[in-house]
Structure 1
Amino acid sequence: MRQTVISFIQKHKLIAKHKTVLVGVSGGPDSMALLHFLRSIQTEWSLKIIAIAVDHQLRGDESKADIEYVKNMCKKWNIEFYGTSVDVPSYKIDRQVGTELAARELRYAVFEDQMKTHNADYLALGHHGDDQIETMLMGLTRYANSRALTGIPLKRIFSTGKIVRPFLCVSRDEIERYCLDEHISPRRDPTNDETNFTRNYFRKYMVPLLKEQNRNIHTTVQHLSESLQDDEQFLMKEANNLFKQVILFDKKNNRASLKIREFVTHSRALQRRVYHLILNYLYDELPNYLSYMHEEQFFSLLKSNKANAQVDFPHKLIVEKSYQQVNFYFSDHAQKPHSFNEIIAIPGELDLPDGSKLLAIHTKDPGVQTEKNYLCGVDQVSLPLHIRTRQAGDRMRWKGLNGSKKIKDIFIDAKIPVNERDKWPIVTDNNGEILWLVGLKKGKPTRQKKSTSYIQLFYDKGNL
């Protein structure tokens, strides 16, 4: 086994010589075998080894005895030792999380602290090939995405260095034989035999069935895991690049949006990963009941023939389709429309609630007209002019139109998103006649008189 692990470490560049390695040690066969193995190469590889043991306060005197056992073995093997205890029972109540997650979070907090204290290069953990099989089987039964099948990573960035798992190339049986051969008498956690824990159920009933078909299933599964992780790493790199290109993310208001036509030109594999990146950005912590059904709802929304539709996600997240755009926002953070009604001073400049500006001047030279300015004769309108948001029953008329048209219908024809309509600026005269639906339509004043003096309005907003 020793040579198998050394070859595995060298192949994947898990540990380099002349480095500091922390080892997470519980006292069980896996971690004790790992500690002993690293000690066996310590001198040749010039490694500084420090054992870290954490009592989770879940098994009373037994878990205290585990820590004491590790401490004594480290003294016998001349290995530096650090032991501590964490209050998992209290933590799980405070955070409203399960025992396993609470223990993991507190344990890794200790690991991170010790990595920083020793400026360590590696944290070595004793996960082995059978753990990999169990993890991938659990992923298959719990989740509906390929990332859940990638299993336990060989290495990953952590604190001041990396987490590494040198034993993923060997089975539980090989580790047990190693302990016998090296006269290691590890501690045994009786909860490992209780099948009410999901992992233990797979360990006791599922893994043995697979091993009947393939004695080296741990090697096969580890190779599959590495291949899937390579594929996933590439796809996530591409997805992150796509995310930067097509997703508009508003950190201040915790909102995101995408243009459907641009988004759907990319492969479904990348679309799916970008969707999950959006959720990771928006949620502080992904809800447990966020499932593949929500993913299906998102993709159905993209293909929907409805101009406006929405789906409710967990924790008040709204996924809203508005014509060719999809918006993600939390309902309790939804931006309320900026309702306003202001008189326009001529000449003068007016700041509007959304940060846009309106400039008004008198002029005798109409100049070049664009969608961002409006011109009318002084004698054609009733002063003062107003700028406001829409009101029920608003209609306007313009040159070439027979009669008038509802502002609502103009918005629909122009495919203006629903959430934009209630804050859209409208210019009227003092009689309420709509002169300008800013950026969309220029009205025709009722009074058609020739003028030599004009009012010129300029509207300044980047997206109009």
Structure 2
Amino acid sequence: MSFELKVKQFIEQEQLIQQDDHLLIAVSGGVDSMALLHYFVKTKTQWGIEIAAVHVDHMLRGEASAQDRAFVQQYCDEHGVTLHARAIPIPEIIAVENGNSQLICRRERYRYFEEIVQKTNATKLVTAHHADDQLESVLMALTKNATVNGMQGIRSQRIFNKKSLIRPFLTVTKSEIWEYLQKQGQNYREDASNEKDAYMRNRFRHHVVPLLKAENPRVAEQVCHFTKHLQEDDALLMTLAQDIFSKTVTKNSENMYSLEIKAIQLVPLALQRRLVLILLNYLYKDSSTIQSYALLTSLLKLCDTTAGNAEVHMPEGFIAVRRYGNLTIQKNVSTQLNTFTDKKLILSANEWTTLANGVRLYIAELPELASELLTDTAQLFYFNASKLTLPLYVRVRKEGDRMLLKGMDQSKRLSRLFIDEKIPLNERNSWPLLVSQTDEVVAVIGVRMGVYFSTTARPNDDTVLIVD
């Protein structure tokens, strides 16, 4: 089967292109992207589409980088293709951030791609990923993470800036692309950095892949079939998992989710894994975090039992806590609430205050209590403002804190109250407390209210605290 026919069948099978599409083709000047650009120059009329090209000079190779841009510009001029190009000072960015050069290059490159997609109203961004890239990606995923997500490799299309990113060459190998470009009599630019073993992908490309191809010359194609089947199987299981997720996982706030462990234990392990992956996709943007085998395993282990309390500290300040058969994942409250240790959070009248654990507080005078403030979950606590002068404050626990409770002659130590109320040890030093202007603890928010408050309005009560 010819190269053109193979690509055409793949595009049709995957439904990558529709008539009247405006394709923005990412072109570096290398063999893969030049073959991609040339293929669409030849076939754009056949597909009924418009094309343009986009190029980024990373300024990492001095004059050679500039010559890459000039080479791509010359090709585009000769073939009537509009080229959008930009030089991005990657060395300066690396010097400031001191980060991974490959990740920074990719981030800045795709930022520019997003900008041009938006500017030109292109319907799809097109990249030249091919079957050998797929093989390398699967091998790297197997080496690093070995999660089901990672083993699915590169997809033929994905959402990009509310449009699509497509990869029409994913079915053909590097050698097939090279042969195609040679037959077309087209030239390309070599990137000397591709020969270096500094990058993981290059090491696999230079040393591991040749061994596999010696065993089976069609190994890249075989891996493409494998990833395709894996993607199809996973799509079905993810649909089932998404349905279960919507019924068993509760979103309490922007960064807080909870679920009953027994409900998760009722579904097969294959779906449990995907429930966790769905949750991680809500929490994180970084694919390496989402696909972390260690993180996935740790969270699944928390769901092994409902007995006892346990926690797992996650990336970016999240924490997963198992307590009384319930699993809660949220931003580490102790990290966020510790900002109140030295500086209290002011709780003023007539405005909502949202705490780090998602609880909202509002103080209103009784005659002005508006019905729209009251949700189905709101709790009302009435008090007399002459005895508990506004504003109130929120802070975390300090050594020696006590609180006077209704029906008691003497105040109770908070350390004892936390034990009696079964507050987990790891949460006690970060639990939000409501305090007066004299720094007296008047409520442990969400646990117990002090003597100043009543759940029913008393004759002298003129103010209400809403906890939601």
TM-score over 0.5 (shorter chain): yes
- Secondary structure at the aligned position of 2:77 is classed as helix
Shift of 1:214: 2.0
1:248 maps to: 250
- How far apart, CA to CA, are the structure 1 residues paired with 2:205 and 2:174? 10
- How far apart, CA to CA, are the structure 2 residues paired with 1:94 and 1:245? 46
Shift of 1:296: 2.8
- How far apart, CA to CA, are the structure 1 residues paired with 2:291 and 2:83? 41
Shift of 1:461: 10
Give a deviation string over 1:318-341, Cα, whole Å, max 9, x none.
222211112223131359999xxx
Shift of 1:161: 2.7
1:210 maps to: 212
1:81 maps to: 83
CA contact (8 A) 2:241 2:275 kept: yes
Kindly provide the amino acid, as one letter, of the partner of residue 271 in structure 2: L
2:379 maps to: 356
1:222 lines up with 2:228 in the alignment: no
Shift of 1:408: 7.6
1:333 maps to: 336
- Secondary structure at the aligned position of 2:303 is classed as helix
- Secondary structure at the aligned position of 2:328 is classed as strand
Alpha-carbon spacing, 1:251–1:286, altered in 2? closer, same or farther (3 Å)? farther
Shift of 1:232: 2.5
1:346 maps to: none
Shift of 1:42: 1.7
Shift of 1:285: 4.9
- Secondary structure at the aligned position of 1:169 is classed as coil
Unaligned runs of 5+ in 2: 345-365, 370-376, 384-405, 432-443, 456-464
- How far apart, CA to CA, are the structure 1 residues paired with 2:410 and 2:307? 29
- How far apart, CA to CA, are the structure 2 residues paired with 1:315 and 1:387? 45
Residue correspondence of structure 1 range 50-449 to structure 2 within 5 A: 50-159=52-161, 161-252=163-254, 254-283=255-284, 285=286, 291-304=292-305, 306-329=307-330, 330=332, 331-333=334-336, 356-357=379-380, 391=413, 411=421, 423=445, 424-425=447-448
Kindly provide the amino acid, as one letter, of the partner of residue 278 in structure 2: L
Kindly provide the amino acid, as one letter, of the partner of residue 188 in structure 2: P
CA contact (8 A) 1:387 1:426 kept: no
Give a deviation string over 1:129-151, Cα, whole Å, max 9, x none.
11111111111101131110111
Alpha-carbon spacing, 1:408–1:91, altered in 2? closer, same or farther (3 Å)? closer
- Secondary structure at the aligned position of 2:311 is classed as strand
Shift of 1:304: 4.3
Alpha-carbon spacing, 1:248–1:75, altered in 2? closer, same or farther (3 Å)? same
- How far apart, CA to CA, are the structure 2 residues paired with 1:195 and 1:40? 35
- How far apart, CA to CA, are the structure 2 residues paired with 1:324 and 1:389? 32
Unaligned runs of 5+ in 1: 339-348, 361-383, 395-406, 430-435, 439-459
Shift of 1:114: 1.3
CA contact (8 A) 2:306 2:326 kept: no
CA contact (8 A) 1:126 1:166 kept: yes
- How far apart, CA to CA, are the structure 2 residues paired with 1:43 and 1:32? 18
- How far apart, CA to CA, are the structure 2 residues paired with 1:173 and 1:284? 34
Kindly provide the amino acid, as one letter, of the partner of residue 42 in structure 1: K
CA contact (8 A) 2:16 2:166 kept: yes
- Secondary structure at the aligned position of 2:119 is classed as helix
Residue correspondence of structure 1 range 2-21 to structure 2 within 5 A: 2-21=4-23
Shift of 1:101: 1.0
- Secondary structure at the aligned position of 1:256 is classed as strand
Shift of 1:426: 6.8
Kindly provide the amino acid, as one letter, of the partner of residue 210 in structure 1: L
Shift of 1:257: 1.6
Alpha-carbon spacing, 1:304–1:387, altered in 2? closer, same or farther (3 Å)? farther
CA contact (8 A) 1:27 1:67 kept: yes
Shift of 1:309: 2.5
Shift of 1:57: 0.9
Alpha-carbon spacing, 1:189–1:307, altered in 2? closer, same or farther (3 Å)? same
Give a deviation string over 1:382-432, Cα, whole Å, max 9, x none.
xx85799964697xxxxxxxxxxxx888756xxx87769965337889xxx
Structure (1 or 2) with the larger CA radius of gyration? 1
CA contact (8 A) 1:29 1:179 kept: yes
- How far apart, CA to CA, are the structure 1 residues paired with 2:35 and 2:408? 81
CA contact (8 A) 2:134 2:220 kept: yes
CA contact (8 A) 2:68 2:189 kept: yes
Q: Report the aligned-residue RMSD.
A: 3.7
- How far apart, CA to CA, are the structure 1 residues paired with 2:408 and 2:298? 43
- Secondary structure at the aligned position of 1:79 is classed as coil
- How far apart, CA to CA, are the structure 1 residues paired with 2:163 and 2:4? 24
**Corresponding residue pairs, total:** 386
- How far apart, CA to CA, are the structure 2 residues paired with 1:170 and 1:3? 11
Kindly provide the amino acid, as one letter, of the partner of residue 275 in structure 1: V
Alpha-carbon spacing, 1:359–1:59, altered in 2? closer, same or farther (3 Å)? closer
1:363 maps to: none
Identical aligned pairs, as a percentage?
30
Give a deviation string over 1:40-71, Cα, whole Å, max 9, x none.
11222232111111101111110110010000
